[in-house]
């Protein structure tokens, strides 16, 4: 029991780190991957840099998409699309 008692604080630190840091990050990565896979033509999105646009084309070969903006059409990697900001943009407004 003495040897286990020495390692117990380290084990507890790892368990706490896993549940409060590692696990939420893995869940977020999984949600982001699902979001980018479910994108379709006509979706209104916002890139991580803040550019607003509407998806015109999706390319599965290089995992990119073409966005139509007020300035014209731009090609972006799908990973550049922000899941949080795009969901806020498409969420129905509460009154």
Domains of the chain by residue range: 1-38, 40-95
Tell me how many degrees the CA angle 76-74-93 measures, rounded to the nearest 5: 80
| Helix (H/G/I), strand (E/B), else coil: 93 | coil
Q: pTM for this one?
A: 0.72
pLDDT tens digits along 28-80: 999 999 999 999 999 999 999 999 999 999 998 999 999 999 989 999 999 99
CATH architecture of 40-95: Roll (2.30)
pLDDT tens digits along 5-31: 788 889 999 999 998 999 999 999 999
Spatial contact of 66 and 51, defined as CB atoms under 8 Å apart: no
- Sorting pLDDT into bands at 50, 70 and 90, what band is 86? confident
């Amino acid at each position: 029991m003495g040897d286990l008692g020495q390692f117990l604080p380290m084990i507890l630190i790892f368990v706490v780190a896993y549940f409060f840091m590692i696990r939420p990050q893995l869940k977020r990565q999984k949600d982001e991957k699902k979001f980018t896979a479910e994108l379709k033509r006509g979706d209104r999105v916002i890139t991580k840099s803040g550019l607003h646009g509407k998806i015109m084309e999706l390319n599965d070969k290089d995992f990119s998409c073409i966005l139509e903006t007020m300035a014209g059409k731009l090609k972006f990697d799908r990973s550049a699309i922000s899941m949080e900001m795009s969901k806020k943009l498409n969420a129905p407004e509460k009154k």
